[in-house]
């Protein structure tokens, strides 16, 4: 699975870290908090709640890139 690196403000990092459970990755935390794996809309709403427009913008761009690459893949059944 492809990965993306995001730059987030310290406030957003602390908020995610506070919600992180033992043995859980930050990806796991984000997916759990969004309540719906693959829900970019919910993730953007969460980032807005954390007051991080830059992070929300980065996530939105990553989501668009993913959808674009997904549409251009060749699939053989």
Q: How confident is the model at residue 74 (pLDDT cuts 50, 70, 90)?
A: low
Q: Is the pTM of this model over 0.75?
A: no
Each residue's pLDDT tens digit, 5-52:
888 888 888 888 898 889 999 888 888 887 755 566 666 666 666 766
Residues 50-64 pLDDT 10s: 766 777 777 788 888
DSSP letters along 6-51, please? ----HHHHHHHHHHPPTT--HHHHHHHHHSSTT-HHHHHHHHHHTT
| Residue 36 confidence (pLDDT) | 58
Nearest CA among 53, 48, 45 for reference residue 7? 53
Q: Which helix (H) or strand (E) holds 58?
A: helix 53-71
Q: Structural domain boundaries of the chain?
A: 7-37, 40-69
């Amino acid at each position: 699975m492809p990965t993306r690196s995001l730059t987030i403000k310290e406030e957003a990092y602390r908020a995610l870290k506070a919600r992180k459970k033992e043995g859980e990755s930050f990806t796991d935390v984000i997916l759990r908090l969004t309540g719906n794996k693959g829900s970019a809309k919910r993730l953007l709403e969460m980032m807005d709640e954390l007051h991080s427009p830059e992070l929300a913008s980065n996530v939105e761009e990553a989501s668009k890139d993913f959808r674009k690459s997904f549409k251009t893949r060749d699939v053989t059944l």
